[in-house]
Chains A and B, each alone.
Chain A
Amino acid sequence: MNVADTQVTRIERSTIDRARKWARANLVNGTANTVLTLVSVTLAAYLIYTLTRFVFVGADWEVVDVNRRLIFLGRYPKEEQWRIWPPMWMVMGLGGLSYGMLSRGSLRDLAWLGAAVVFILAFLATTTNGLLFGGGVLVSIAAYGLGRLSIGRPLLRSKLRLVTIVGWFLVIPFAIILITGFGGVKPALWGGLLLNVLLAAIGIGVGLPLGILLALSRASSLPLLKGFATSIIEITRGGPLIAWLFIARFVLPAFIPDAFETDPIVNSMIVVSLFTGAYVAEIVRGGLQAVDRGQVEAADALGLGTFNVTVFIVLPQAIRAVIPALVSQMIALWKDTTLFAFLGFTDALSGGQAAYNQAAFKGSQIEVLVFVALLFWAVAFGMSRLSQRFERVLGIGVR
């Protein structure tokens, strides 16, 4: 007991000492740096003060509270809301499982997770949605535990890995089938953050494999294939996304025979997938070039076919090398989904804009925009963290 106590004090003292030493070395060494430190601290304190004051005193969050539905679901009909929960639980369960499997169980992770859960629960507390979400949180925590359990148990781990990968592949088709099928909600009524998530998920889910295929085709020695891929990439990348969306919405329908005519949102999803594919293709091509030519030759010498060489030797290394750039592209896509508002869909941002234009909430655009920005930031930040974790697990940047 006594020994432990002294240890704690020693650690504390050493921590404080170290902090003091660090501060002296980095913050107040010399007049110029001291002035800089003082100025930055004042500025930071002022910013934090005004922000806190705005959030807790100045802002009137009623506009967000009343318009939650509009921001999260847009014009999605209320009576069909149950369709969203099963895929949501699936995402939460898979998220917990993946996180548990990738995690090293640091307290910081739990703190982040806890903060997110508390925030969302506080937000939903008064409604049945709170209970439904709470159920999802339980599923998520259980899955996280299972994932943690698998560390050091290779058999369980390989099974769980299969479940996770298949699950992530199935979740978007499952969500779309459940939302659209069985007399469900047609795409024109998808809205709010749900629409942004679905668009981004499909853009990533289709765009990523498409991009890899395009990159491989462009790197191929077959002129026809190479030309085809190159022209798709260059044409798609040559125009701004908004122009392609415009074409998908207003021009394409005139050329597509009625029998093949799809919902405008489906057209837009095709466009966004193609667009993402083109960018991903160029990123992956960079990765392909980073793979040492000698490895291909070695594999060829061993008699592996081109397919095996590509899939098992070249691609894994190529993609590993470009994960940060790929994630960057995904985050850009996530934010680009707000462009769809231009085509007449009500996404999270345009739902929010409609909210602060309501007669009852004039002049409250700052609250709404801050809230919507926070939503987008949270997802983008989550993507970034997840990819960093993934990189660490793969050992990228370590070796």
Chain B
Amino acid sequence: MLPANHGSATLDRFKEWGVRMKFSKYMLMLLALLAIGMIAAACSGDEDDDDGAASVAASDTLKTVLGRGNVIVGVKDSQPGFGNLQPDGTFAGQDVEYAHALAAALFGDKSKVEFVVASASTRFELLSAAEIDVLIRTTTWTSSRDIDLSSSFTATTFYDGQGIIVDASSAVQSITDLEGATICVTSGTTTEINLASRLAAAGVNHTALTLAGDAEILEAFAAGRCEAWTGDKGNLAGQRSSYPVEDGGPESLRVLPETLSKEPLGPVVRDGDTDWYDVVQWVVFGTMAADELGVNSGNVATMSSAPPSKDIANLLGVSFEGGEPTNFGASLGLSPTFMQAVIGQVGNYDEIYERTIAPIGLARAGSLNASWLDGGLIYSPPIK
């Protein structure tokens, strides 16, 4: 068989190849076009390289943001009091208010914000890839994040600390009573490490039950799988204040007095971006200064037209008793009166706090987040 058909089979194969070739010519052309396109793209990429690299590495976020006409902020979508999506698709919380404050400072319009939902695991990637201009997402300022992750932490907007919450009817009054207890904790966070080291230091044996998130922890706690759970006190207060009535309501839970860790939370920007860093930092400080000076959204208009003190005039960028106004705004590259927009549209630190964090059950008075005048840590450097 084979020898007899050998010649025609080869011919067939040859013909087939010829037919294919005709069809494939178009394919080849397509491929060639693709290749040319790719080379062109690569070349234009090369041309842009110096520009592109410079714009990412150096300090031009401020210019980029002003040119773009809005500020892109990474926030959280699921933490009441700090950043939480509302039923109508808008965000609410302290972090969100500071995003609006930034927009008011930059554009005189607090609505010029684009929010990106930043998860715990993608937030620093979003920041370093310049997908967001600033990260305001309950992010704890730590040395490793500040140094290794090429990010810079601006002013702290909320001093949090890790706490432990237990059933109010239990005998546990402090962490030393937790001997042998099972404690629920979120996986992969600093809280897990803090819990272990603090309880070990106190000589308390415990079992950690590691779970994926707050909702799972609540579920496990309600089911009796753990006697206590740990998290940042800001978060615990939120969880407590909204604890389901069917399960006993807020009264059925007690936060232990000990604070296991320091968790300063605030906006984060990329390293080496000093102009932008200054803007973010001084908008935050501005709201704190306004709180100290008694300037709020209700009286900012009258105080701007007739500032009662030199400090208030400096803050609001107006002249005091005929003197020269400071160049606070202008030196930041913003409008001289940017703080008027911030306070008028968003409010001072206290107003923001009362609107967002107080409702979740964390009173400001007596906490670390009280003004330094009342013994807290909220302190603005002088504006002059």
Interface pick from A4-12, A65-73, A140-148? A65-73
In angstroms, Cα B38 to Cα A260, docked, is 12
If A69-B87, A225-B27 touch, whether A250 touches B125 (CB-CB below 8 Å) is yes
Q: Interface majority SS on A: helix, strand, loop or mixed?
A: helix
In the complex, what's the smallest C-beta–C-beta distance from B12 to chain A, in angstroms? Answer: 8
Q: In the complex the two chains form, is A358's CB within 8 Å of B80's CB?
A: yes
If A70-B87, A78-B88, A222-B24 touch, whether A359 touches B242 (CB-CB below 8 Å) is yes
Interface pick from A161-169, A338-346, A387-395? A338-346
Interface pick from B114-122, B254-262, B367-375? B114-122
Q: In the complex the two chains form, is A300's CB within 8 Å of B52's CB?
A: no
Q: In the complex the two chains form, is B24's CB within 8 Å of A220's CB?
A: yes
Q: In the complex the two chains form, is B85's CB within 8 Å of A188's CB?
A: no
In the complex, what's the smallest C-beta–C-beta distance from A163 to chain B, in angstroms? Answer: 31
Q: In the complex the two chains form, is A359's CB within 8 Å of B126's CB?
A: no
Residues from 194 to 224 in A contacting B, C-beta threshold 8 Å: 217, 220-222, 224
In angstroms, Cα B74 to Cα A351, docked, is 16
Of A75, A191, A249, A342, most buried by chain B (CB within 10 Å of CB) is A75
The size class of the interface chain A forms with chain B is 35 or more
Residue among B23, B89, B244 making CB contact with A74, cutoff 8 Å: B89
In angstroms, Cα B119 to Cα A67, docked, is 21
If A254-B129, A359-B360 touch, whether A191 touches B23 (CB-CB below 8 Å) is no
> Residues of A contacting B52 with CB < 8 Å?
257-258
Query: In this assembly, does B182 line the interface, its C-beta being within 8 Å of a C-beta of chain A?
Result: no
In angstroms, Cα B88 to Cα A351, docked, is 11
- Interface contacts (Cβ under 8 Å), in number, total 152
Q: In the complex the two chains form, is B80's CB within 8 Å of A76's CB?
A: no
Query: In this assembly, does B336 line the interface, its C-beta being within 8 Å of a C-beta of chain A?
Result: no
In angstroms, Cα B132 to Cα A343, docked, is 12
Of B78, B87, B90, B130, most buried by chain A (CB within 10 Å of CB) is B87
> Residues of B contacting A257 with CB < 8 Å?
41, 44-45, 47-48, 52
> Residues of B contacting A222 with CB < 8 Å?
20, 24, 27-28
Contact with A along B52-87 (1 / 0, CB 8 A): 100010000000000000000010011111001111
Interface pick from A16-24, A34-42, A108-116, A360-368? A360-368
What is the chain A residue whose CB lies nearest that of B25? A222
Residue among A67, A256, A345, A364 making CB contact with B117, cutoff 8 Å: A345
> Residues of A contacting B56 with CB < 8 Å?
254
Q: In the complex the two chains form, is A258's CB within 8 Å of B48's CB?
A: yes
> Residues of B contacting A69 with CB < 8 Å?
87-89
> Residues of A contacting B379 with CB < 8 Å?
none
Contact with B along A120-140 (1 / 0, CB 8 A): 000000000000000000000
Contact with A along B1-25 (1 / 0, CB 8 A): 0000000000000011101101110
Query: In this assembly, does A182 line the interface, its C-beta being within 8 Å of a C-beta of chain B?
Result: no
In angstroms, Cα B84 to Cα A72, docked, is 17
In the complex, what's the smallest C-beta–C-beta distance from B365 to chain A, in angstroms? Answer: 21
What is the chain A residue whose CB lies nearest that of B90? A75
Q: In the complex the two chains form, is A253's CB within 8 Å of B48's CB?
A: no
> Residues of A contacting B239 with CB < 8 Å?
362
Contact with A along B172-207 (1 / 0, CB 8 A): 000000000000000000000000000000000000
In the complex, what's the smallest C-beta–C-beta distance from A70 to chain B, in angstroms? Answer: 6
Query: In this assembly, does B241 line the interface, its C-beta being within 8 Å of a C-beta of chain A?
Result: yes
In angstroms, Cα B96 to Cα A25, docked, is 67
Interface pick from B150-158, B215-223, B295-303, B346-354? B215-223
Residue among B20, B78, B114, B122 making CB contact with A357, cutoff 8 Å: B78
The size class of the interface chain B forms with chain A is 35 or more
In angstroms, Cα B77 to Cα A335, docked, is 22
Q: In the complex the two chains form, is B20's CB within 8 Å of A221's CB?
A: yes
> Residues of A contacting B44 with CB < 8 Å?
257, 259
> Residues of A contacting B84 with CB < 8 Å?
354, 357-359
Q: In the complex the two chains form, is A354's CB within 8 Å of B78's CB?
A: yes
> Residues of A contacting B24 with CB < 8 Å?
220, 222, 225
If A70-B85, A250-B129 touch, whether A300 touches B122 (CB-CB below 8 Å) is no
Query: In this assembly, does B359 line the interface, its C-beta being within 8 Å of a C-beta of chain A?
Result: yes
Residue among B17, B23, B85, B242 making CB contact with A355, cutoff 8 Å: B85
In angstroms, Cα B80 to Cα A353, docked, is 12
What is the chain A residue whose CB lies nearest that of B74? A344
In angstroms, Cα B84 to Cα A362, docked, is 13
Q: In the complex the two chains form, is B80's CB within 8 Å of A359's CB?
A: yes
Q: In the complex the two chains form, is B19's CB within 8 Å of A249's CB?
A: no
Q: In the complex the two chains form, is A342's CB within 8 Å of B119's CB?
A: yes
Q: In the complex the two chains form, is A363's CB within 8 Å of B222's CB?
A: yes
In angstroms, Cα B26 to Cα A307, docked, is 11
In angstroms, Cα B214 to Cα A221, docked, is 56
Q: In the complex the two chains form, is B89's CB within 8 Å of A77's CB?
A: yes
What is the chain B residue whose CB lies nearest that of A255? B45
Query: In this assembly, does A264 line the interface, its C-beta being within 8 Å of a C-beta of chain B?
Result: yes
In the complex, what's the smallest C-beta–C-beta distance from B329 to chain A, in angstroms? Answer: 29
In angstroms, Cα B77 to Cα A191, docked, is 13
Contact with A along B34-54 (1 / 0, CB 8 A): 000000010011011001100
Q: In the complex the two chains form, is A363's CB within 8 Å of B244's CB?
A: yes
Q: In the complex the two chains form, is A221's CB within 8 Å of B122's CB?
A: no
Query: In this assembly, does A54 line the interface, its C-beta being within 8 Å of a C-beta of chain B?
Result: no
Query: In this assembly, does A30 line the interface, its C-beta being within 8 Å of a C-beta of chain B?
Result: no
Query: In this assembly, does B247 line the interface, its C-beta being within 8 Å of a C-beta of chain A?
Result: yes
Residue among B23, B131, B218 making CB contact with A249, cutoff 8 Å: B131
> Residues of A contacting B87 with CB < 8 Å?
66-70, 355, 358
> Residues of B contacting A254 with CB < 8 Å?
56, 129
In angstroms, Cα B215 to Cα A351, docked, is 14
Q: In the complex the two chains form, is B118's CB within 8 Å of A344's CB?
A: yes
If A346-B117, A359-B242 touch, whether A305 touches B23 (CB-CB below 8 Å) is yes
Residue among A300, A344, A365 making CB contact with B19, cutoff 8 Å: A300
Query: In this assembly, does B238 line the interface, its C-beta being within 8 Å of a C-beta of chain A?
Result: yes
In angstroms, Cα B244 to Cα A224, docked, is 64
Q: In the complex the two chains form, is A357's CB within 8 Å of B27's CB?
A: no
If A69-B88, A70-B87, A344-B74 touch, whether A359 touches B238 (CB-CB below 8 Å) is yes
In the complex, what's the smallest C-beta–C-beta distance from A207 to chain B, in angstroms? Answer: 18
Residue among A78, A255, A260, A305 making CB contact with B22, cutoff 8 Å: A305
What is the chain B residue whose CB lies nearest that of A365? B215
> Residues of A contacting B17 with CB < 8 Å?
221
Query: In this assembly, does B363 line the interface, its C-beta being within 8 Å of a C-beta of chain A?
Result: no
In the complex, what's the smallest C-beta–C-beta distance from B8 to chain A, in angstroms? Answer: 12
- Given contact pairs A78-B89, A253-B129, enumerate 4 new A-B contacts (beta carbons under 8 Å): A250-B126, A355-B87, A359-B81, A363-B218
18 pairs, CB–CB < 8 Å, chain A vs chain B: A70-B87, A70-B88, A75-B89, A77-B89, A221-B17, A260-B41, A310-B23, A344-B116, A344-B119, A344-B126, A346-B85, A356-B215, A359-B238, A359-B359, A361-B242, A363-B243, A363-B244, A365-B215
3 nearest interchain CB pairs? A357-B78, A354-B85, A359-B80
